[in-house]
């Protein structure tokens, strides 16, 4: 008899990575720093192909208790003005090593709250990027915005600069939940942003929701879902709340007694899948939904979805540059992260422009496993013959241990293993499936590292 979802949750809910990258950021080390980054940039400048840029703008006026992002909380906006000066130094140093031979096809500003910057500051930053990098006319240019602080002038400025995608945080419209997470936001604010964005011609609007927040119930979350679908965003991200107070001390202010249990969280996600599918959205990857004609939906249908540090994308590129405090880049599979403390970042930028603190160079086995995990996270299937062809291996020999460990998951109905490969059957447990292929997981067992998989 098949196990119920509740039984599966009890069996498989455990700490595990979200696999934004493989290996995860836990493997980054200071042995790979500025010199290695300099060499990687010079090599990247001699290659062809599209380039992606991520710019981290970490500032927020106040901290939301659920937040897991790397932020600097301050109401003193002169700090951001100073930060821009150091960010420009980094942009200049990175672009000088890379050159202008490669076109930027994907540019993303994240945070923090990028619209913490004033419109004039946004023009200044975009001008510095445009001066130093060749931005493709058809580039995907996206930004994360907070409806509470994003003004019509912000949106007008962003559209004028060429931004074409907006991602706005909603989290939950329930006043009770908002009180528990310290984030007060009205429907009117979200609606005004959506209406203005469409009037200005932004080609895509994404809204972020979070399930598993304190005081959240099935009824309250369904009401939020009904309200959000009424705005008809092109995409929705439905993230699982990651309670990691050992990493984010401010989360200790959340009463753990008010957090939904794993079975309730699973029910919340099931409600989201049911309601959004009924509203015409297509499930994408682990936690995204899109309208059927969206390029993410098309890529998901065709098995061409990809995932990088900026999230799910259709634009596969060999190189992603991370700019700004704590930003992580990926140059031909080698990861580089900037300093995570503001004073250290600013000092490094002032001294030489490059701000790398640590990195990780992949082994051939890392590259193989990264491909496997990415395919599972994006397309929920692994083509045995394709993996053998790409990496020159015999799948059954290379993954004999992993196939053995997948056996119980197959018996429980989470995966199917056949001559073609491996297929994930239950999206809720895709992280558990990927964990089987993670060669580093055993190093970190016994210590709090990750949020739970459900």
Q: What is residue 447's DSSP assignment?
A: S
Residues 272-320 pLDDT 10s: 999 999 999 999 988 999 999 999 999 888 888 888 887 888 776 679 9
Residue 1: pLDDT over 60: no
Query: What average pLDDT is seen over the chain?
Result: 94
| CATH class of the domain whose range is 27-360 | alpha beta
**Residue 410 confidence (pLDDT):** 96
Q: Report d(CA 110, CA 213) in Å as an integer.
A: 22
Instruction: State the pLDDT at residue 46.
Output: 94
**Sign (positive/negative) of CA torsion 382, 387, 389, 390?**
positive
Q: Where are the domains of the chain?
A: 27-360, 364-444
pLDDT in the model for residue 416: 97
How many C-beta atoms surround the C-beta of residue 407 within 10 A?
11
Q: How far is CA 210 from the centre of its chain?
A: 13
Mean pLDDT of 418-433: 94
pTM, two decimal places: 0.94
Residue 92 near residue 353 (C-beta atoms within 8 A):
yes
Mean pLDDT of 124-141: 96
- Please choose, from the candidates 166, 82, 159, the residue with its C-alpha nearest in 3D space to the C-alpha of residue 126: 159
| C-alpha 326, offset from chain centre | 14
Q: Residue 367: which H helix or E strand, with range?
A: helix 364-379
Q: Helix 384-391 crosses helix 364-379 at what angle (to 10 degrees)? A: 150
Q: Are 383 and 452 in contact (CB under 8 A)?
A: no
Task: Report whether CATH 1.10.10.920 matches the domain 364-444.
Answer: yes
Distance CA 425, CA 380 (A): 8
pLDDT one-digit tens code per residue, 41-54: 999 999 999 999 99
Strand 306-308, strand 319-323: pairing: unpaired
Assess contact for 410 and 436: CB atoms under 8 A. Answer: no
pLDDT at 111: 92
293: alpha, beta or left, given left = phi > 0 and alpha = psi -120 to 50?
alpha
pLDDT digits (tens, 9 = 90+) for 227-262: 999 999 999 999 999 999 988 999 999 999 999 998
Which residue, chain included where needed, has tokens 């100073």?
Answer: 82
Assigned token pair, 409: 């998951």
Of 290-304, 353-367, 404-418, the range with the lowest mean pLDDT is 290-304
The pLDDT > 70 percentage for the chain reads 99
Average pLDDT over residues 322-332: 97
- In terms of Cβ atoms closer than 10 Å to its own Cβ (0-12, 13-18, 19+), residue 322 is buried
The pLDDT of residue 317: 66
Q: Which residues, listed in sequence order, are joined to residue 57 by a DSSP beta bridge?
A: 111
Selection from 372, 374, 404, 417 nearest residue 390 by Cα: 372
Query: Of 12-16, 175-179, 189-193, which range is least confident?
Result: 12-16
| Alpha carbon 336 to its chain's center | 16
2 — pLDDT class (breaks 50, 70, 90): low
User: What does DSSP assign to residue 250?
Assistant: G
Res 308: pLDDT = 81
């Amino acid at each position: 008899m098949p196990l119920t979802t509740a039984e599966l949750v009890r069996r498989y809910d455990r700490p595990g990575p979200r696999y934004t990258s493989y290996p995860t950021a836990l493997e980054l080390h200071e042995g790979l720093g500025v010199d290695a980054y300099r060499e990687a940039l010079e090599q990247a400048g001699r290659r062809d192909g599209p380039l992606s840029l991520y710019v981290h703008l970490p500032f927020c006026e106040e901290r939301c208790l659920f937040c897991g992002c790397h932020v600097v909380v301050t109401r003193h906006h002169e700090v951001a003005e100073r930060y821009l000066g150091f960010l420009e130094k980094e942009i200049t140093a990175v672009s000088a090593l890379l050159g202008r031979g490669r076109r930027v096809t994907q540019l993303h500003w994240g945070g923090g709250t990028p619209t913490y910057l004033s419109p004039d500051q946004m023009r200044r930053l975009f001008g510095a990027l445009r001066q130093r990098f060749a931005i493709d006319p058809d580039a995907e240019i996206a930004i994360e915005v907070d409806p509470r602080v994003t003004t019509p002038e912000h949106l007008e400025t962003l559209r004028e600069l060429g931004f074409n995608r907006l991602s706005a945080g909603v989290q939950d419209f329930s006043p009770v939940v908002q009180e528990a997470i310290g984030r007060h936001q009205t429907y009117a604010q979200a609606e005004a942003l959506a209406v203005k964005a469409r009037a200005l011609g932004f080609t895509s609007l994404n809204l972020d929701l979070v399930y598993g927040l304190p005081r959240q119930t099935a009824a309250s979350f369904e009401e939020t879902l009904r309200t959000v679908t009424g705005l008809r965003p092109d995409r929705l991200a439905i993230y699982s709340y990651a309670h990691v107070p050992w990493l984010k001390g401010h989360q200790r202010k959340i009463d753990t007694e008010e957090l939904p249990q794993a079975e309730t969280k699973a029910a919340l996600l099931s409600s989201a899948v049911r309601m959004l599918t009924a509203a015409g959205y297509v499930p994408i990857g682990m936690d995204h939904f899109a309208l059927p004609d969206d390029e993410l939906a098309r890529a998901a249908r065709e098995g061409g979805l990809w995932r990088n540090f900026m999230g799910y994308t259709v634009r596969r590129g060999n190189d992603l540059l991370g700019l700004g405090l704590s930003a992580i880049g990926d140059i031909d599979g080698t990861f580089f992260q900037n300093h995570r403390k503001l004073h250290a970042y600013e000092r490094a930028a002032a001294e030489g422009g490059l701000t790398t603190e640590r990195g990780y160079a992949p082994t051939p086995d890392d590259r193989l496993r990264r491909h496997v995990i990415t395919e599972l996270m994006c397309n929920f299937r692994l083509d045995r013959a394709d993996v053998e062809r790409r990496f020159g291996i015999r799948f059954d020999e290379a993954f004999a241990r992993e196939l053995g460990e997948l056996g119980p998951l197959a018996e429980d109905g989470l995966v199917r293993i056949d001559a073609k490969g491996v297929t994930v059957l239950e999206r809720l447990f895709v992280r558990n499936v990927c964990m089987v292929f993670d060669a580093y997981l055993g190093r970190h067992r016994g210590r709090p590292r990750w949020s739970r998989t459900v």
